[in-house]
Structures are given as structure tokens and as C-alpha cells.
A = this chain, B = another copy of it.
């Protein structure tokens, strides 16, 4: 594993230095619980590449097709009544982790996918 210049909690979970509730792993990808799992909505999972890609690197990477399949598998397994797949890119999307990931959220009615200024102002 390449040493990161900045601390990355996802890299630490992947490296086994920080505990994570790992739901799936293979040579390229892991799925573990968001720290908010069960707090904001019942199911909050993260599909994460082992390599420290940016979001856009991840979405254009060789690993992404497999990651998409895993995201769908996790969603249908843990959220049989529906789930939302999300990636936030950049500041206006409130991206908080530099390490690329797909959110898998569900387990309740999720409300609208836009929580924006109109018509929710």
C-alpha cells in the first residue's frame, strides 16, 4: 500500500489499523459501514477501492465495474425494499472523504434525492 501524504481513515480501515465493520472484501474492493450506519438511516454502507483513488479516479478506474456490481448486491441484500447509490464529488456536494467511494443507503423511506434550495428552501 502506497503511503499517503495525508491521513485517510478509509486507508486505515483497509490496512486494519482502524476497526471497521467489513461486509465484503476482495483483492480490489471492500464494503464497510459508514460511521453513521444506523444513525441517519438504518443502512449506510461504503463501497471502497483498496487503492486510494479520488472519486473521479475511482469512477473511471478498472475496478469500477466490479464496484458497481457489489454496490447493487449490497443494496439488494441489506435493503430489499429499495436503496440509493450516491457519490459526492467536490465541495458543493459536501464530499468529506478524499478516498473514492459509493454510498449505499436504505432501510427506510429515503425521501427525495434532491435536498436543494427549490422547492425545499
Q: How large is the interface on A (under 10, 10 to 19, 20 to 34, 35 or more residues)?
A: 35 or more
- State the copy count for this chain: 2
- B59 and A114 form a contact (CB under 8 A): no
Contact with B along A96-121 (1 / 0, CB 8 A): 00000001011111111111111100
Q: Which residues of B contact A40 (CB under 8 A)?
A: 114, 116, 118-119
Asked if B90 and A83 sit within 8 Å, CB to CB, the answer is yes
Q: Are the CB atoms of B82 and A85 closer together than 8 Å? A: no
Q: List the B side residues contacting A93 at CB < 8 Å.
A: 82-84, 106, 110, 113
A92-B119 contact given A59-B72, A68-B59, A85-B87, CB 8 Å threshold:
no
List 5 A-B pairs, minimum CB-CB distance, nearest first: A82-B90, A82-B92, A115-B115, A82-B93, A111-B115
